Amino acid sequence: MSDNLEKKNNNAPLILLLIAVFVLIFSVFMGKTANQLKEKDYENYQTHQEEQAEELPSPVNPEFSQDLKINPLEEYNYKTKKEIYDIRKKYVKESLFYTPDYEPNEEIFGQIADGKPWWGLEHVICTDSKDNTTGVSNLSKFINNPNLLVVVGQSYTFYKSPDMDWFCNSEFAKYIPFELKYDADEKMITAKYKMSRYLIDNAKKYGGGHDSSYYITLQGINAKDFGYRYGKLYNLYNISMRNTPNATEHFYEFADYIHLGGSCKKEGGCNNISPYQPELDFHINELPAELTVGLRKTNSDIFDINYDFKYKIIFEEE
């Protein structure tokens, strides 16, 4: 009995050695298999990512900034309301703010009159009190360019005269930006305009009989159409406001809408934009100059720095 036990004890180290070798071989095999599976899974993951990348649209550029097209203006005279709506929907479809269910806001566009003339852009700059509807229509600047959320223009229409020819025929007075950019990260559009140094230096000469200086105003027809009904001005540089109170102090609701009016002096009236909002008037003191409009869909001054969207306007010397 004791001899048998002694023999078993002599075999025990060998058995343990064999078990250890088996465990080692099994571990190496399983580890290698696991690594192969991981490598295979990674290859499958990479392939899946590449396939997805092919399906998704690539970003405009790494800085999340893109140039926005400034569409040409056109003459709207005697077009139907439906034709104007079709033009609007066409350009909105190409804009940043397109949604499949977009329809022009009836509060803004609902009073467009069928088959009537429209105020001409050149006549909004300088009027001769006769026919102010020839040429490209002023409101095509708004309707054809939905990305111009806040449109720039002068506060008053001037009368044509020999000493005003340079101004009446100038490009800067049309207030069409030469550059328009969108920064997705900042949720901001930046519009750059040319401005005349001569006008800045002689602003008091061009008050149109209304004031002692030349004032510029803002119209938020496009912002309002996309739900950004309220605007507040901030980060003003070389710009002073005309009135108090004004839009640097509180959020103001854009009141713009299109309607048939008689100010164009055309029999039967023409389509025009109203009303004039003096709290949005400002004067450029020096060049360059800039301001930013903080836009909101709801009106609340509680969180002053929180904007739903931002629109920066920069004036550079022409």
Encode pLDDT of 244-284 as tens digits.
999 999 899 999 999 999 888 888 999 999 999 999 999 99
Quick one: which of 65, 243, 88, 47 has its CA closest to 155? 243
Indicate whether 72 and 209 sit together in one domain: yes
Average pLDDT value over all residues in the chain? 83
> Per-residue pLDDT for 209 more than 80?
no
How far is the C-alpha of 100 from the C-alpha of 95, rounded, in Å? Answer: 12
Indicate whether 52 and 125 sit together in one domain: no
How far is the C-alpha of 47 from the C-alpha of 41, rounded, in Å? Answer: 10
In this structure, of 81-85, 230-234, 263-267, the range with the lowest mean pLDDT score is: 263-267
pLDDT number for residue 181 = 98
Indicate whether 179 and 35 sit together in one domain: no
pLDDT number for residue 48 = 41
Indicate whether 290 and 268 sit together in one domain: yes
Average pLDDT over residues 178-202: 94
> Per-residue pLDDT for 176 more than 70?
yes
pLDDT number for residue 90 = 98
Residue 263 corresponds to which amino acid? Answer: S
Among candidate residues 9, 34, 58, the one where a domain is terminated: 58
Quick one: which of 81, 116, 112, 113 has its CA closest to 266? 116
**pLDDT tens-digit profile of 11-53?**
555 555 566 555 555 554 445 444 443 444 434 434 443 443 3
Host H or E run for residue 219: strand 216-219
Indicate whether 218 and 75 sit together in one domain: yes
What is the token pair recorded at 139?
A: 């409101």
Average pLDDT over residues 57-72: 68
Place 289 in a pLDDT band, splitting at 50, 70 and 90.
Answer: very high
Average pLDDT over residues 200-213: 69
Quick one: which of 311, 291, 188 has its CA closest to 241? 291
How far is the C-alpha of 88 from the C-alpha of 74, rounded, in Å? Answer: 12
Among candidate residues 58, 76, 92, the one where a domain is terminated: 58
**Domain limits at 129?**
65-317
Indicate whether 136 and 4 sit together in one domain: no
b/e map 5-17, b = 16+ CB within 10 Å: eeeeeeeeeeeee
Indicate whether 84 and 23 sit together in one domain: no
What's the structural domain count of the chain? Answer: 2
Average pLDDT over residues 213-240: 95
Indicate whether 48 and 110 sit together in one domain: no
Indicate whether 149 and 212 sit together in one domain: yes
Place 164 in a pLDDT band, splitting at 50, 70 and 90.
Answer: confident
How far is the C-alpha of 106 from the C-alpha of 118, rounded, in Å? Answer: 18
Place 200 in a pLDDT band, splitting at 50, 70 and 90.
Answer: confident
Indicate whether 148 and 215 sit together in one domain: yes
Indicate whether 30 and 163 sit together in one domain: no
In this structure, of 119-133, 235-249, 299-313, the range with the lowest mean pLDDT score is: 299-313
Among candidate residues 43, 58, 73, the one where a domain is terminated: 58
> Per-residue pLDDT for 70 more than 70?
yes
